[in-house]
């Protein structure tokens, strides 16, 4: 059962990834990527990482992809990429390089992990996966966790600063008419 689920989901993940790369419409790419995220969430469940599967769906498929779709809609959906290549032979060269990278990765993984086996029990303590992650996060990984909060604050402030509309012209006398404009960041 687990084996069949793995193969079905592996095919789904690879096909949706390829579909994301090849879709001409950016919205189709985003939807293909959502399919890919769900397939990865299934893999996380198979590997015993139930909490990460939930986070994957909530954060990635829920939040990040909505943000991507929002930006795509903001810039116009019907916009399609031109078919001409700015660099000559860009597509064949990229396919060659990517195929070589994939082949190399699979070769190295097969030679170094071909005999690897899973541990007997999943890494969840008796209390369960989410509880174990919470305990690890707030004991041995407390400092990285706090640094992450700083990163998120910096990202939020940076987005507000980047997304702010620049004032049209500097008028020191005028009482800043554009200041009521909302931040405009996505």
Partner 1 sequence: MTQPVQYLALAGLLFAVGAIGALVRRSSVVILMSIELMLNAVNLTFVTFARMQGSLDGQVLAFFVIVVAAAEAVVGLAIIVAIFRRVRSALADDVRTLKW
Cα→Cα distances 1→5, 8, 46, 71, 121, Å: 6, 11, 11, 40, 18
Judged by beta carbon, residue 104 or residue 173, the one nearer partner 1 is 104
Judged by beta carbon, residue 112 or residue 180, the one nearer partner 1 is 112
- Distance in Å, CB of 171 to partner 1, minimum: 21
Cα distance between residue 76 and residue 26, in whole Å: 10
Residue 48: how many other CB atoms lie within 10 Å: 16
Retrieve residue 92's tokens.
């064949």
Judged by beta carbon, residue 177 or residue 184, the one nearer partner 1 is 184
Largest alpha-carbon pair distance within the chain? 74
Cα distance between residue 10 and residue 33, in whole Å: 14
- Distance in Å, CB of 172 to partner 1, minimum: 25
- Distance in Å, CB of 79 to partner 1, minimum: 6
Judged by beta carbon, residue 121 or residue 179, the one nearer partner 1 is 121
User: Phi then psi for 134, rounded to 5 degrees?
Assistant: -60, -40
- Distance in Å, CB of 180 to partner 1, minimum: 19
């Amino acid at each position: 059962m687990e084996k069949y689920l793995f193969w079905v989901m592996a095919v789904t993940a690879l096909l949706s990834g390829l579909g994301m790369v090849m879709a001409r419409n950016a919205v189709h790419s985003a939807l293909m990527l959502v399919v890919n995220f769900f397939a990865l969430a299934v893999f996380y469940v198979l590997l015993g990482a139930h909490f990460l599967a939930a986070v994957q769906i909530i954060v990635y498929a829920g939040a990040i992809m909505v943000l991507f779709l929002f930006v795509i809609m903001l810039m116009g959906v019907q916009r399609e990429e031109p078919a001409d290549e700015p660099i000559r032979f860009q597509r064949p060269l990229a396919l060659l390089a990517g195929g070589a990278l994939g082949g190399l990765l699979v070769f190295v993984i097969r030679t170094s992990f071909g005999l690897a086996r899973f541990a007997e029990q999943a890494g969840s303590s008796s209390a369960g996966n989410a509880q174990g992650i919470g305990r690890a996060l707030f004991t041995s990984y407390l400092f990285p966790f706090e640094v992450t909060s700083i990163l998120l604050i910096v990202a939020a402030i940076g987005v507000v600063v980047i997304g702010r509309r620049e004032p049209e012209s500097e008028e020191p006398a005028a009482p800043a008419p554009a200041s009521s404009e909302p931040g405009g960041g996505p």
